[in-house]
Amino acid sequence: MGQMIAVAPSPSALSPVSCAAIIGDAIDCEAYPNGMGTEAQWNTTSSVDHQAYSYSKTVAEKAAWDMVKGQQRWDLVVINPSLVLGPGLNADATSESFNLFKQLGNGKMKSGVPDFAIGMIDVRDLAIAHYNAGFTPEANGRNIISADNSDSLTLGKILRQHYGDAYPFPQKNLPKFMVWLMAPLVGFKRKMIKLNVGHKWQVDNSKGKRELGMSYRPMQQTVIDFFQQMIDTGKVRPKG
């Protein structure tokens, strides 16, 4: 999700950035209290040369906060979502979320998946978070919006439980050394593999629940609804 500032009905601005402005690599969580990212932390490990996407989210959010300091007309509420999943209004959209689920179902990951830990949020719940932030006068500061701390293999297991063997879902994690060796061939840097594969990615979502009134639909519903949209629109097809 890109940087955007939109004027809200209350004297606030909403800035959707990302949890990437909090966590650059999963290993960063090990240095945080309780091993979890919170609104108090900033991503200090990303750069133009390493995890450039996460770096861009950090720079964007800091720029938004700098804008706040230069005026007194409005305050700022920041929404920091994790990986956004779920059925989209545009079934032909392109994003890393769509690419991930296509690969889970089209056989590209049937031999296994890297042990990547991820946070997830349903796009429909994220929309509610933005609405609540805009219409809740007490809303303030940064707000982690993330329903679950999970991983790629768990997504495959959920899909297999629902669809059985109709699609070649992954059933195991690939050894880290293999992922590390193959990384440059599939467009990943080995440093990124080292700092993420096999490490837990975790955030504390209690502030959003407490102050924005958030409650999250089950991850299973998000995963199945998202994949079903891809089936219905022909993005993935059953085996044989």
Helices (H), the chain: 52-69, 96-105, 123-135, 152-163, 176-182, 190-196, 206-212, 219-232
Instruction: State how beta strands 75-81 and 6-7 pair.
Output: unpaired
Containing 51, the helix (H) or strand (E) segment is none
Residue 24, helix vs strand vs coil: coil
Q: What is the largest CA-CA distance in the chain?
A: 62
Cα–Cα distance for residue pair 151/210, rounded to 1 Å:
25
CB atoms within 10 A of CB 163: 16
Q: How far is CA 153 from CA 100, 156, 163, in A?
A: 12, 5, 15
Tell me whether residue 239 is one of the annotated catalytic residues. no
Separation CA 132–CA 126 (nearest Å): 10
Catalytic residue among 57, 110, 172, 235: 57
Sole residue written with tokens 């500061």:
141
Residue among 124, 123, 143, 120 at smallest CA distance from 133: 143
- Positions marked catalytic: 57
